[in-house]
Structure 1
Amino acid sequence: MTRVEHHVTRAAEAASPTSSPMLRQTNLSLVLRHLRDHVSRSRADIAEATGLHRATVSNLVAELLERRLVRETGTEHVGAIGRPRRPVALHGAHVGALGLEINVDYISVHGSDLSGRVLVERRVGFDTTASGPDRSLRRLSRVASEAVEAMQRAGAVPAGLGVAVPALVDVARGVVTFAPNLDWHDLPLAARLSATLGLSVPVMVDNDANLAALAEHTSGVAAGTPHLVYLTGEVGVGGGIIVDGKLLRGADGFSGEVGHLSVDPGGARCGCGRHGCWETKVGLAALVRTAMPEQPYQPVTDPEERATEIARGLAAGDRRMLAAVAEVGRWLGLGGSIVANLFNPRVIVVGGYFATLAEWLLPHAQAELERLVVAGPAAQCRFTASDFGFGAASRGAASMVINQLIDHPTTIMDPIPRLAAY
């Protein structure tokens, strides 16, 4: 069977009343994914790009229009004769996706609709480590509840919720296996959060760096780059790795724990219990201890405010801060060279405080990277700063929900499930 015959067969099956629900879902998803990657497209354009028959595309688009998941954007005239085309675009303004991140010293929120329109975005300071899992989950639930109410006021009901955690995560079960900087072990986060909120929608949990990498690959400074690494710039340092356009998870889903690369076996004790991990050299707490020894690191302090405070000192020429950032930059480049030698990314995107201090930090990191990468100039790897600041992981958590909805659109074909009353 030729490729064209295969697509025609699929199209005929999709248009048939007896077509399987799985095939229908696959074709609906195909159309939605295409529209996600383009501002607007005509039915003819969609048919040409996907290989589906035009009649099938018309039927699929009609269903998506009825469910308000796409919208027509006007008319488009092609040539002097012929019927005008009516382009359609991704819509779904009534379908919400809520992303949360809980980290050492803050909780962040990013809520959007299916088309990516931002509905709510905020970050609150919170000492997660000192609060323990029970109190932290209660606080996370309150923040989520407030975000849900804001999204509902904007006309969107969340159809899913994603949570980013600096931890090893059993994604399939939504269980935090080990979060060294939070001191969480085997915490069934998805189940407990769902029960606390009374949610009737899916709750997904993933590693913060993985989700930040997803956000960067989807819509960040390196959007579309098929080979990239994202590094969180938090108290801890995690990595999200994109290879051939896909997130690398590893055999058990625990890849990307680059912050626990041993770079100085005789160094300081890490939260994981080992000594000399990379994050003990480049994490925010390490920088504060060196750059601001008279102000011990306080987890409840907003990390962005602390980074901004250091940036002011750097801009004013504070020699101690400049020396501290240069030292962190060199360690960042050393660890980055290990990552580059292993995965050969085109770009290493840095977030969190790394991005805030990029002007002073990255020149040192880039120089050390170029010195230590085995392939030398042939590797063409560069550091670059994220535009998402400390919100990349929560944005990625919302993207995870949207991807799930687009991949399984029949879950939102019927009326969107509503959250139980709080």
Structure 2
Amino acid sequence: MAFAEQNGAPRRKKRGNNFESMQQSNRALILQLMKAQGVSTRKGLAEQSGLQAATISIIVAELMERRLVEETGLVEGDCGRRLTGLRLRRDQYCTAAVRITPSYYAVGLYDINSACLAVEKTIWPFFDDPARSLEEVLAAVRRFLGLRPDLQPLGAAFALQGGFWLEDGRCALPGLAGEAGADLCAWFSRRLGLPVTADLAADYSAYCYTARPDYSYLKKEVFLYLLVSDTVDYSILDHGRIYRGALGLPGSLGQLTVFDEAGQPAPLETLCGNSVLLRRAAGLLKEYPDSALAARADGLRSRDLINAFYAGDPVAVQLYGGAAAALAQALAVLIRLLRPHRVLLSDEIPQNETFLDMVREDLRPLLEPRLLARVQLLAPSEERSTARDSTMIGGSMYLTDRSIRELRL
């Protein structure tokens, strides 16, 4: 998937073409602009596309006749003028998105603006029996698509972590025989009768952030996104251009060798991976019987551990202290190589300044002061939940954007 071409950072406004022969590409351009803005006006679309007002009127009328676009009422325009708003209709199309990790999978249904209509997370050891796992995921996707028979599905997007291999638009599952192991997208597409796309969970998540107005600054700088879950992944953005993960292998950053608290070398994901931390938390509860986590020892979840960290629980603070030190070592390497302006740490880790300060403090002895001063560490502005999972929302966004570009609406 060539994200770099599809979500690049234009140095100038997108320009349309007023010739009749270019009407289809103009229509795609207008749909893209409307999807990105949420609510648009005819005047604003003309200014941003470079198309004549008359051309905009013709395209908008056609899109309204096809029930792709609707008017929203009056919105504020220039100089206090109120103009008629336009937006994509939400009652025509949907997308399915799936996140697969070593310890769970999640399935969601999204409207054309990638707003979540329904979502479900299932704890599941995916790689214990991949063939059975794929059948379970397939059944879940079919069930979710059946929730809204009034909406036409544009396809399904798979955000992947763990033992997959992505190369030349093909997703393979090594060790699994047959079509599903050789080309996961083709297998799902044939069974669902829909287009299917797959990519690293981190790249889909980065795609989601670059499409958000409150993260528009990402198109003006070098940005590094770290996804910390069962595995550890990263995505690199250069002025809005997203580059593929190392070798197309999910979890590649998690295999980077760092040093634990005893000074012994270990893969990064064994020190900060979600499943590992949960196992260690269960063991530490014997030493900390007064921990608030003791009551949940039999069914401890990542959200419990994160909330305990926010509350200052000693078990959670100890575990995430080690995770912060390990992540700082990995970040020191990446910052020296990439010179990013910002680093976003996200997913199944604490997303507050306390945790970021721990990472910053561990970075100090590892980086030259000028490099440390250059980079800004961030956490998402909202707490993560399955309904707000940026990997799945990003997959839905990508699939919808591709459908618009290919004029499949």
Contact 2:114–2:396 under 8 Å retained in 1: no
Of the candidates 339, 362, 365, which is equivalent to residue 368 of structure 1?
Answer: 362
Verify the 8 A CA contact 1:249 1:256 in the aligned structure 2: no
| 1:337 matches 2:332 | yes
Match of 2:347 in 1: 352
CA contact (8 A) 1:218 1:224 kept: no
User: 2:400 is matched with which residue?
Assistant: 402
Select the residue among 232, 244, 251 that pairs with 2:239: 244
2:312 is aligned with 1:322: no
Shift in Å at residue 379 of structure 1? Answer: 1.3
- Between stretches 69-78 and 89-98, larger displacement belongs to 69-78
Counterpart among 80, 85, 95 of residue 97 in structure 1: 95
Q: Secondary structure of 1:235's match?
A: coil
Work out the CA distance in 2 between the residues paired with 1:147 and 1:174: 25
SS at match of 2:148: helix
1:62 maps to 2:56:
no
1:203 and 2:199 are equivalent in the alignment: no
Distance 2:158 2:43 in 1: 38
Which residue of 2 is the match for residue 182 of structure 1?
none
Structure 2 counterpart of 1:28, which letter? R
Contact 1:112/1:118 (<8 A) preserved: yes
Match of 2:5 in 1: none
1:279 aligns with 2:269: yes
Q: Greater strand share, 1 or 2? A: 2
- What TM-score does the superposition give when structure 2 sets the normalisation length? 0.79
Structure 1 residue 148 corresponds to structure 2 residue 145: yes
* Contact 2:154–2:195 (Cα < 8 Å) also in 1: yes
Q: Which of 28-37 and 316-325 deviates more?
A: 316-325
Q: CA deviation at 1:100?
A: 0.7
Q: Indicate conservation of the 8 Å contact 1:75/1:87, yes or no.
A: yes
Residue 109 of structure 2 is matched in structure 1 by 111
- d(CA) in 2 for partners of 1:66, 1:371: 63
Query: What is the CA deviation profile of residues 253-286 of structure 1, one whole-angstrom value per residue up to 9, with x for unaligned ones?
Result: 5598322222249x999xxxxx732212221233
- The DSSP-based 3-state class of the residue aligned with 1:232 is strand
Residues 2-54 of structure 1 deviation map (CA, whole Å, 9 limit, x = unaligned): xxxx969x20x1xx3xx1xxx33321121122212323222222112111122
Identify if the C-alpha distance between structure 1 residues 221 and 353 changes in structure 2 by more than 3 Å, giving closer, same or farther: farther
2:172 to 172, 176, 190: 176
Deviations 1:379-413 (A, max 9, x none): 132131463345222222211211212222x211x
Whole-angstrom CA distance in 1 between matches of 2:354 and 2:133: 34
CA 1:101–1:282 in structure 2 vs 1: closer, same or farther (change >3 Å)?
same
Counterpart of 1:293 (choices 283, 301, 314) is 283
SS of equivalent residue, structure 1 residue 151: coil
Quote the offset at 1:172 in angstroms: 4.6
Alpha carbons 2:91, 2:151 under 8 Å: kept? yes
8 Å Cα contact 1:249-1:255 kept in structure 2: no
Contact 1:101 1:109 in 2 (8 A): yes
* Secondary structure class of the residue paired with 2:172: strand
SS in 2 for 1:64: helix
Matched, 1:218 2:211: yes
Q: Quick check: 1:105–1:127 contact (8 Å CA) kept in 2?
A: yes
Greater shift after overlay, 224-233 or 132-141? 224-233
SS in structure 2 opposite 1:34? helix
Please, which runs of 5 or more residues in structure 2 have no aligned partner? 1-13, 287-295
Q: Secondary structure at the match of 2:348?
A: helix
How far apart in 1 are the matches of 2:408 and 2:170? 19
Q: TM-score, normalised by structure 1?
A: 0.77
What amino acid sits opposite 1:116 in the alignment?
A: S
Aligned partners of 1:329 and 1:251: how far apart in 2? 22
- What SS does structure 2 have at the residue aligned with 1:276? strand
Report the equivalent of 2:292: none
Q: Deviations over 1:110-145 (max 9, x none)?
A: 221112332112211111122x22101110011101
Change in Cα spacing, 1:126 to 1:363, as seen in structure 2 (3 Å) is same
How far the C-alpha of 1:208 sits from its partner, in A, is 1.3
- Residue 158 of structure 1 corresponds to which residue in structure 2? 153
The equivalent position to 2:136 in structure 1, one of 121, 135, 139, is 139
Extract unaligned runs of 5+ from structure 1: 1-5, 180-184, 270-274, 413-422
Native 8 Å contact 1:240 1:256 kept in 2 = no
For 1:417, the equivalent position in structure 2 comes to: none
RMSD, aligned CA: 3.8
% identical aligned pairs: 22
Is the Cα contact below 8 Å between 2:226 and 2:346 reproduced in 1?
yes
Tell me whether 1:393 sits opposite 2:383 in the alignment: no
Number of equivalences:
377
